Amino acid sequence: MIRTALCILAGLELAAAPVASAQTAPPESDTRYTFNRTDNGYVRLDGRTGEVSICGQHAAGWTCQIVPDERAALEAEIARLQAENAAVKKEILAHNLPLPGTVKPQAPAANSDEPRLQLPNDADLNKVMSFIEKVWRRFVEMMTGLQKDILKKT
């Protein structure tokens, strides 16, 4: 966040500078650092690494302090997590366990003692349909009787 504010401030300084002084060296030059004036010192941009530093005059003289780079911290955390992930995978494989997210192919069922799912035959389907039909007719009769009772009361 500090870095963003400093970059915006540095950009405003460059935009407000006269055109003659806004000209910089061509990109192929060997200039490593770029300095931009701020209210309390300078902002230094390292052209090779992209690091931003805040420079100011203190009791001991001029010093520059590197601005914390969130991107570098995030990249370091990603690298740490990748190394940890690789170590965990190696340990899982050492114990002959499957890695999470992978499907282990199942061996074909060689044992015929296991019960198999059998589809119903036509006779079974007819029994079920007959039962459902009886339940439905009874339900309709109950609703018809209820409707007649309600109409009598009104």
Q: Which of 31, 63, 35 is nearest to 47 (CA)?
A: 31
Q: Is pLDDT above 60 for 7?
A: no
Question: What is the model's pLDDT at position 116?
Answer: 82
Site of tokens 């209820």: 146
Cβ contacts of 128 within 8 Å, gap of 6 or more: 120
Contact 56, 62 (CB under 8 A): yes
Contact 55, 69 (CB under 8 A): no
**pTM over cut 0.75:** no
Q: Which of 88, 110, 86 is nearest to 97 (CA)?
A: 88
* Token pair recorded at residue 31: 């200039």
What is the spatial distance between Cα 84 and Cα 97, in angstroms, rounded to a whole number?
Answer: 18
What is the spatial distance between Cα 96 and Cα 90, in angstroms, rounded to a whole number?
Answer: 10
Q: Which of 32, 26, 24 is nearest to 50 (CA)?
A: 32
- For residue 94, the tally of other CB atoms under 10 A from its CB is 8
Q: What is the pLDDT of residues 105-121, one digit of tens each?
A: 666 655 667 788 888 99
Q: What is the pLDDT of residues 32-60, one digit of tens each?
A: 999 999 998 999 999 888 888 999 988 88
* Token pair recorded at residue 141: 């009769």
